[in-house]
Amino acid sequence: MKVNKMMTARLLFTLLVAMGITTSCSKKSSSKNTSAATGWKINDPNGGFQYNSNFTKQETAPGLILVEGGTFTMGKVQDDVMHDWNNTPNQQHVQSFYMDETEVTNIAYMEYLDWVKRVFPPTDENYKHIYTGALPDTLVWRNRLGYNETMTNNYLRHPAYSQYPVVGVNWIQATEYAKWRTNRVNESILEREGYMKKGAKIVDVDANNTFDTEAYLATPSTSFGGNDSIILKKTKGRAKKGKNAADSTNVYAQKTSGVLLPEYRLPTEAEWEYAAAADVGNREYNIYRGQKKYPWKGQYTRSGKRETRGDQLANFKQGKGDYGGIAGWSDDNADITAAVKSYKPNDFGLYDMAGNVAEWVQDVYRPMVDDEANDFNYYRGNVYTKNKIADDGKVELVTAETMKYDTLSNGKIVARTKPGEIAQVPVDEQETYLRQNFDKSNEINYRDGDKQSTRFYRFVDEEGEAKVDDKKRMYDSPVHRVGKDTTGKLDRKFDKSTKRTTLIGDDVRVYKGGSWRDRAYWLDPASRRFCQQDIASDHIGFRCAMSRVGPKSDFKKRARN
């Protein structure tokens, strides 16, 4: 009898504990959908405030790998053989971000070209420069004293090179590819989540019916030319039995939905260098053990492991005339570029962060990194804009008639805006008045080339942001002018001045990492070079990055992690 009483007491205690757990879980579950500010219900099927209270973490977009942010020494090279003095070490912190596992390949870029050609056919006079402006320059392979016509004719499109990194792409084309990729990925997500008709991104798309992420967020009903049968309103909640379906709430995807991803873009120089160095492999507790010379451990370019001893760890030029070593011998197994993933990844899981092709980054080049002004997510190149508002008070979308093209210094014409995008204008005093963090639209020259930095600066109000007179520019780089004559032909005026003092200007961008054409020195992640943003090469490619929203890491860290 005594035993039975004890068993009954234990059973009762277990039931009480279980009931407590159930009650607490119920409270916790319901509190997610109840406002702590008002007590109102969030995501009420009848309407009101709608929010994704079940969001867990950012989805990893196609092709990307998470790079957990951290502190590192930027610009530290073991040798300065070029005597550029542009690698002054400085401490920087980079937020967590995502980065392409590999360089953008020929097949990935050809998918972009195929979409552009189908949607904006070059046979249409309105759109002919969109496709031709996106085409890589295949003539970069030619050499006055070399036979490279095989690469000129085959490298981009032949299946043998499909997994090789794309080259012949200038900085402007790389940024346009990233914008296109953003829209196609978010378009696919909306289709998957039920906000868009299945198959519409292939069947219904044309020049007048396209999807743009920012335009969708601003005015969803205008996407795909305002076709309601394509851009669906997803039903939140279910209509109860016996009630009209209209009782439930129909909504578009919004920022608060948490399904749309941030934009693909080029990585900043700080992000690229941090990701390439992958010092995380040298970490012990909260410090780094020494400085890595290459993206891998050790001071040498050859493998020291028994099974691969002597093999090169990257694709680069070992010496004059030595692009691939002796036939039949263990070496880097490539004379030009190599297929992506031909070599081991670094400690972040990123491939070819040294060698193969050098890579464009976002930054405008300057000989110094101004860590006195900023040591957090450093980036030089900000040009702030805002949505253009039409006379009817709504955002103005770009049309075939209002598209903007740029004629580059080499005569190539590229589209900078496309139909369906939101027209942009520079920010003005309405956004900058009395602000401490920025004071104008174009901040490229902040503390390094702006008017305040020159001896010609006068404290006098001037209208707008007119270009500084050539004689008063901080960086006296060549100015090539390209226009059209009265017959419509390009009129190229090459700057032949012998008084220019530098090649550095606001349209000069940084590129990082060594390539198949470079010696081992350039494999150091901290090394940096620059090139005109509208110039392409046979040894410069690119990869995309994406900012991470939310916490620094998916896992809680402790001191001994």
Average pLDDT over residues 154-165: 97
Is residue 406 included in any domain, yes or no?
A: yes
| 473/86 Cα distance (integer angstroms) | 21
Closest CA to 135 of 178, 158, 106: 106
Of residues 76 and 47, the one with the higher pLDDT is: 76
Closest CA to 554 of 60, 101, 92: 60
| 274/74 Cα distance (integer angstroms) | 8
Is residue 410 included in any domain, yes or no?
A: yes
Whether 519 contacts 314, CB under 8 Å: no
Average pLDDT over residues 49-54: 85
The predicted pLDDT at position 70 comes to 93
Q: Which residue has the tokens 């070209």?
A: 113
Whether 522 contacts 514, CB under 8 Å: yes
| 371/374 Cα distance (integer angstroms) | 5
Is residue 418 included in any domain, yes or no?
A: yes
CA torsion 414→420→421→425, rounded to 10°?
A: 90
The predicted pLDDT at position 247 comes to 38
Is residue 525 included in any domain, yes or no?
A: no
Say what the pTM is.
0.88
Is residue 438 included in any domain, yes or no?
A: yes
Domain limits at 411? 384-443
Is residue 346 included in any domain, yes or no?
A: no
User: Residue 307 CB: number of other CB atoms within 10 A?
Assistant: 6
Closest CA to 264 of 381, 165, 174: 174
| 262/176 Cα distance (integer angstroms) | 15
Q: Domain tally for the chain?
A: 1
Is residue 389 included in any domain, yes or no?
A: yes
DSSP 442: B
Is residue 390 included in any domain, yes or no?
A: yes
**224 token code pair:** 């795909």
Average pLDDT, the chain: 85
At 442-488, the pLDDT tens digits run: 999 888 866 666 666 654 444 444 455 666 667 778 888 887 777 76
The predicted pLDDT at position 235 comes to 58
| 544/230 Cα distance (integer angstroms) | 29
Provide Rg for the chain, Cα atoms.
28
Average pLDDT over residues 521-544: 96
The predicted pLDDT at position 239 comes to 41
Of residues 66 and 560, the one with the higher pLDDT is: 66
Q: Which residue has the tokens 């309405």?
A: 430
